[in-house]
Amino acid sequence: MNKQTIQTLFKYNQWANHKIFSAASNLTVEQFVAPANFPHGGIRSTLTHALFAEWIWRNRWEGVSPTHRFKPEDFPTFESLHTRWAEEEKELMKFVESVSEEQLNSPFHYTSTEGVKYENILWESMAHVVNHGTQHRAEVAAMLTDVGHSPGDIDMILFLRKKI
- What is the structure's pLDDT at 163? 74
The rounded percent of the chain whose pLDDT value lies above 90 is 98
Q: What is the CATH number of the domain that holds 89?
A: 1.20.120.450
CA distance 74 to 76: 6
What confidence tier does 164 reach under pLDDT thresholds 50, 70, 90? low
pLDDT tens digits, 94-144: 999 999 999 999 999 999 999 999 999 999 999 999 999 999 999 999 999
The rounded percent of the chain whose pLDDT value lies above 70 is 99
pTM score: 0.96
- What is the structure's pLDDT at 15? 98
| Structural domain harbouring 148 | 3-163
CA distance 49 to 39: 10
Number of domains in the chain: 1
Vertex 45: Cα angle to 40 and 47 (nearest 5): 100
**Which SS3 state, helix, strand or coil, does residue 120 take?**
strand
Q: Write the DSSP symbol of residue 73.
A: G
Is 30 a residue whose pLDDT tops 70?
Answer: yes
Is 41 a residue whose pLDDT tops 80?
Answer: yes
117 alpha-carbon distance from chain centroid:
23
